[in-house]
Amino acid sequence: MSGGPIRVFLVDDQELVRTGFELILGTTSDLLVVGSAGDAATAIARLSTTAPRADVVLMDIRMPGMDGVTATRHLTALPDPPRVVMLTTFDADDLLVAALRAGAAGYLLKDAGAAELVAAVRAAAAGEAPVSPRLVRHLIDSFLLSAPPEPARRPAHPGLERLTGREREILAAVGLGLTNTEIAVRLSVAESTVKTHLGSVLRKLGIRDRVQAVIVAQTIG
């Protein structure tokens, strides 16, 4: 990402949603909306050729024609891909896990407040995986429902053996959908300590973000 403002591109088939998000993001000095599109195909065309490229794309998960999952797969395959945050509702269970596998960086409910929207864009641009707190448990449940039957489930992640006891505790708490603040309270440690341990967990497991950590946590026996 450049040293200037975080460049954001909006993709949603509802003009009212795009306008509302643009108004919110436009009031923040470190964020800049560089474009928008009402469908996935147009978004891919613009994001593949427009300069400067967007740093973060807010992508509706369910749209007429090409859905947000397919669009995300296209965008994450670009040479310098943007971070894609999916805009979703609680009735999009069938697409949540597919979006994760397509490379989505995070998930935000479409009725998110202004502060949550801004925080999610900043987190995504920083390489984190923003997930609406109300959506974490929903995402976990959707992943578990889509998993193979018990006998066919994959074994625990081999990297788990490299984790310390404290790191396993934090990973398990992430798997429950707890935020860093909630984990810090539960384990009676500083929030900065949780962030440090979680960073170590991601490195040892070779995974990119918190959402993937949630999935790995489900394999802990």
pLDDT > 70? residue 92: no
CATH class for domain 150-217? mainly alpha
According to DSSP H, which parts of the chain are helical?
15-26, 40-49, 68-76, 93-102, 114-125, 133-146, 165-175, 180-187, 191-205, 210-217
- Predicted TM-score (pTM) of the model is 0.73
Q: What is the pLDDT of residue 151?
A: 46
Task: Give residue limits of the domains in the chain.
Answer: 6-132, 150-217
Out of 38-42, 145-149, 153-157, the most confident range is 38-42
Query: What's the pLDDT tens digit per position in 62-71?
Result: 999 999 999 9
pLDDT value at 145 more than 80 = no
CATH number listed for the domain at residues 6-132:
3.40.50.2300
Mean pLDDT of 123-146: 73
Q: pLDDT, tens digit, for every residue of 93-133? A: 667 778 877 888 888 888 888 999 999 999 889 887 787 77
Closest CA to 172 of 145, 146, 194, 147: 194
Position 118, amino acid: V
Q: What is the spatial distance between Cα 210 and Cα 49, in angstroms, rounded to a whole number?
A: 30
Contact call for residues 152 and 129 (beta carbons, < 8 A)? no
